[in-house]
Structure 1
């Protein structure tokens, strides 16, 4: 039976009229003392699943959060709601830490955030023994998976929660986990008896697009200028050097971009992250070191200029866009060199063969998503065990690629690789192979006498870009491989023989002419539902007011109100506190703190 206190807290504190999806079932289960493993997409409302029970149950909810840098913002947001929240981490001096510890022991906190490293110390465990714990929430629980993209060794010690406090309910939460990762989380955290709640992974407001990489910085700039100029966004790159170069390039092109990677000092990282959270229109160029736990709701695009290593990582990173439910873009540029580089990195990794095989499986799944001729979202969600129909909001649905018989083209490539492999001691990459196929008499082709090869010039009918597409897809399908020589040399595989013998038809993917043109130029931006002119003016006025309040309070603007809440106010033009209080996102504390100011602005707008 549902606990009525949960809905009362949801309405009074958070300003929402009802729970969404599985939230109610999860909240009731935890309030009743049950353990839970929750998989819910970014922006799906995971935090409410432990915040509401923490406010209903006696004691303090202890939240294990992996990122110290974000605890302050999480606590600020709860404080704005009137929730008694605090954190314990290394940024505090001993006096601040002692005040928080005493507040916990005295029962004066609703929520306490701690990093896993601190939780594992004897001092912290002894502190928790002195107070009353309502529940343990383990956020970003995928960090416990050794096969995951964000593995944190300290998470492995969190099984002690069950051993030391067996009667305290635990809720582990993550946005991404395959069935295998889910089982690993449950096993490592000793959540064997926990009920699993798996929400839909679909984020229908995100438009997925993958383009062929060709002068990627220029492509990225065109994408931002055409679709997201002035918007907040995140650009992911694999290396620190690439992050620095891209951020610098965007800045010189008039884009307000900042770098973020582990090689920067903690002070610079914290400062850049703070600016991204608090200012509008910042583009953060980062390695995957950035993003986990980021609550910024109005990130309008997430771009990848290098191929992600796994579908889980890609989904987690793209999910940081559009948390407010408004339209957002997930844009990825991917090319032949990405495949060669990733295969080489796997070969050179320090793990055993099992580890390398698992990395290869992750990469194969990511390549399958890139090369699919079916709906991106169908393929993406199928990876997590969910079946949907075509979405109508990805590049494949909007501009379907063409499938063509690439059997003969593949045979030409494989024949060239076979003939070059006979030359001992020489190494030839993709560019040289393409030159031979297209009959280009380069200095290197002439030097090695490759004009005399029977495959020289047999591929003059296809462009260099088309041949790169063929090579890329042969690598993705396992019909070519990167040799273990460390130079990116291409070699045949077990599957190559069947293609060379013509034993089956090989269908390949080719961009439609419309998609190819769009990749080089402008394209329709995913649009939110447009506000009427009058409501738009009020919305902008409310955003300006929100910015002033946020600066006074020293918090990000979205901590005061989300854009979605301000849009609803602008559309409905409430004329009383009671009417304002029924708008989603306006809880009792915010109604008391800001209600009169908002009504004054609405009335002034109505009066012209």
Structure 2
């Protein structure tokens, strides 16, 4: 049966070989073994159940947490000529019944549902009547209460599966599971430890970068201008911040969408569609956007604020480069942002034990902003693995010159000390720059020896310096919504002239490099966009950026060569391949087709 799986991989999906871990997962399923697959975003988890679904006689049920994911997956399967559909809350009762009848009559191979669908008697009847060969549980970390996105409906799903008269074969899939979460999933789904397939958490095509102690708006604007032809996501922690950033970017000429939970369903659907179809290339969003988004040509993900934990960060950052093409993951780190997340944990209704777990995870996430080791290494260590230095993250490549800023640091620390370590960075910066602010006068801080010590600098520059000193752990913000600054032991040593403070030059935004002929690549992209409009499907479903990149590299000149390109299967060759082949043939011979 594995030979049959390889034929399907080539014919339906256009790949000549399996990615790491795929063959192992598929082999176990074909041998009737329940399996947990832990593979990074973009690692090809979907094929692990889609290929067995085409081999098994009965129906494959795919449990998926979000409507957007279901639609993406089904659209991609239809483009490959595979019978699949979904049932979710966007459908009318009539549409639901029509799709259930398709399943009953054997005209479907895959049916995508939300976990809550299992609670409905109508669906339970369908499961009792039909031969269900495989139950695929996507985003399986939602099962575990120790995971970053625990959902009670997923826990009920485990109970339901264990109570079924004819329990089907099960495959659980996730990109983000710590050893504790993995153990929990196996326990709840009764999966044997030897049937866990874990391919490693590192993503070779991603370049991680932490930018701290700098003007976030300036860096973001510069980065987006340098990558104006690329598609990307900017994540912010709150709805208010999303609104502000999107407005700022649009005023600066960067056409940007916004997405958050305060928008109505229609607004969110229209925004998501515009992004998926490349109508606008930048979307500013809260974490309400993206879980399961299958858009493969996202070239960068920028986090404007720190997420709550490493699982959430890696899942969101991992939406860059799903097609395997080099992509950027940038965190604009400000130590104060941790207080937003701390406040959200404080306000949550989580049990005390889970709150403590969330605080611990937040501290580990904050450590990512401070660490000087390889960023990819820090991430995979969090997930229980070890890794060599990646050689391309901002820590591995940091060759900026350092400047001695000990005197400025002493001025800041002295001011914090003279203000009694009772105030936050804004008031400290006002005192240092000699502000006439009423609060400064009310507290008589204008009489301090440190008042106006930095009057030659702007308040913004001093705030950035304070952020840098906090990030480097010379200053420690207290807990609370308006944290006061305190000196650490490091700062005391600086004041005693026992330690010098060095600061590197500001980081410069760079372009994502695709290492292909850019003119030809953009020409193929434009053809893909035309076909996308014609067929009303997102561009990446036609062909991924990785596929277009291979076309540029290998310049296929006939159908046989075209079918050797990753992602060009027989169905897609017939549907779209010849239009791209004509472009490539004309480019090779120098024919002007305009």
Q: Deviations over 1:48-88 (max 9, x none)?
A: 11111111122111100111133222111101111111111
Equivalent residue number for residue 580 of structure 1: 562
Is residue 33–residue 168 contact of structure 1 (8 Å, CA) maintained in 2?
no
The CA deviation string for residues 458-489 of structure 1, in whole angstroms up to 9 with x for no partner, is: 999998343332234438xxx845245x5423
The aligned residue for residue 512 of structure 1 is: 504
**TM-score scaled by length of structure 2:** 0.88
Aligned match of 1:431 in 426, 434, 458?
426
Alpha carbons of 1:397 and 1:217: their partners in 2 closer, same or farther (altered >3 Å)? same
Verify the 8 A CA contact 2:213 2:467 in the aligned structure 1.
no
Map of 1:566 onto structure 2:
548
Report the CA distance shift for 1:370/1:193 in structure 2 as closer, same or farther (over 3 A): closer
Q: Deviations over 1:530-566 (max 9, x none)?
A: 23x8xx53x4444333323222221111111122223
* Per-residue CA distance 1:289-331 (angstroms, 9 max, x = gap): 0011111111111111111111111111111011111121112
Indicate whether 1:550 and 2:510 are aligned. Answer: no
Distance 1:155 1:110 in 2: 23
* Most deviating of 554-563 and 183-192: 183-192
Q: Distance in 2 between matches of 1:506 and 1:62?
A: 65
Distance 1:551-1:443 versus aligned 2 partners, 3 A rule = closer
In the alignment, is residue 399 of structure 1 matched against residue 410 of structure 2? no
Cα distance in 2, alignment partners of residues 457 and 550 from structure 1? 60
In the TM superposition, 1:224-243 aligns within 5 A as 224-226=224-226, 228-243=227-242
Is 2:526 aligned against 1:527?
no
1:396 is paired with a residue whose SS is coil
Distance 2:396 2:479 in 1: 36
1:77-156 to structure 2, matched below 5 A, reads: 77-156=76-155
Secondary structure, aligned partner of 2:529: helix
The answer as to 2:179 corresponding to 1:179 is: yes
The answer on whether the counterparts of 2:64 and 2:115 sit within 8 Å (CA) in structure 1 is yes
Query: Is the 8 Å Cα contact of residues 85 and 110 (structure 1) preserved in structure 2?
Result: yes
1:290 aligns with 2:277: no
Tell me the SS of whatever aligns to 2:247. Answer: helix
- Aligned counterparts of 1:335 and 1:411: Cα–Cα separation in 2: 21
Deviates more, 1:188-197 or 1:37-46: 188-197
Per the alignment, do residues 85 and 432 of structure 1 end up closer, same or farther by CA in structure 2, a change over 3 Å counting? same
Q: CA deviation at 1:140?
A: 1.1
Instruction: Check conservation: 2:13, 2:568, Cα contact below 8 A.
Output: yes
Unaligned 5+ segments in structure 2 are none
Cα distance in 2 for residues equivalent to 1:589 and 1:335: 49
Deviates more, 1:315-324 or 1:571-580: 571-580
Q: Superposition pairs for residues 157-176 of structure 1, below 5 Å?
A: 157-159=156-158, 160-164=160-164, 167-176=167-176
How far, CA to CA, are the matches of 1:509 and 1:83 in structure 2?
61
Measure, in 2, the Cα distance between the counterparts of 1:431 and 1:403: 24
Q: What displacement does 1:587 show?
A: 1.3
Q: Distance in 2 between matches of 1:526 and 1:153?
A: 40
Pair 1:282–1:525, CA change in 2 (3 A): closer
Contact 2:61-2:113 within 8 A present in 1 as well = yes
Greater shift after overlay, 572-581 or 451-460? 451-460
Contact in 2 for aligned 1:410/1:474 (Cα 8 Å): no
Cα contact 2:415–2:428 (8 A) shared by 1: no
Distance 1:549 1:317 in 2: 29
User: Which residue pairs with 1:201 in the alignment?
Assistant: 201
> Do 1:54 and 1:60's aligned partners in 2 also have CA atoms closer than 8 Å?
yes
Question: 1:47 and 2:39 equivalent?
Answer: no
Q: In the alignment, which residue of structure 2 is the partner of 1:488? A: 483
Q: Distance in 1 between matches of 2:553 and 2:78?
A: 28
Unaligned runs of 5+ in 1: 422-426
Q: Distance in 2 between matches of 1:563 and 1:229?
A: 16
- How is 1:343-382 mapped onto 2 (pairs within 5 angstroms)? 343-382=342-381
Q: CA separation of 1:168/1:440 partners in 2, compared to 1, >3 Å: closer, same or farther?
A: same
1:587-606 superposed matches below 5 A: 587-606=569-588
Where does residue 275 of structure 2 map in the other structure?
276
Give 1:400 shift: 4.6
Q: 1:404 to 1:307 in 2, by over 3 A?
A: farther
Report the counterpart of residue 448 of structure 1 in structure 2.
443
Paired with 1:43 and 1:387, the residues of 2 have a C-alpha distance of: 20
Paired residue secondary structure (1:370): helix
Structure 2 CA distance for partners of 1:540 and 1:61, relative to 1, 3 Å: same
CA distance in 2, matches of 1:481, 1:391: 32
Q: What is the root-mean-square deviation in Å for CA atoms of aligned residues?
A: 3.4
Distance 1:469 1:6, change over 3 A: same
Change (3 A) 1:574 1:344: closer
Change (3 A) 1:400 1:189: farther
* 1:254-273 equivalent positions in 2, closer than 5 A: 254-273=253-272
Contact 2:516-2:549 at 8 Å conserved across structures? no
Q: Secondary structure at the match of 1:288?
A: coil
Superposition TM-score, scaled by structure 1 size: 0.86
Distance in 2 between residues matched to 1:404 and 1:603, nearest whole Å? 58
460-469 or 78-87: which moved more? 460-469
Select between 461-470 and 50-59 the one with higher mean Cα deviation.
461-470
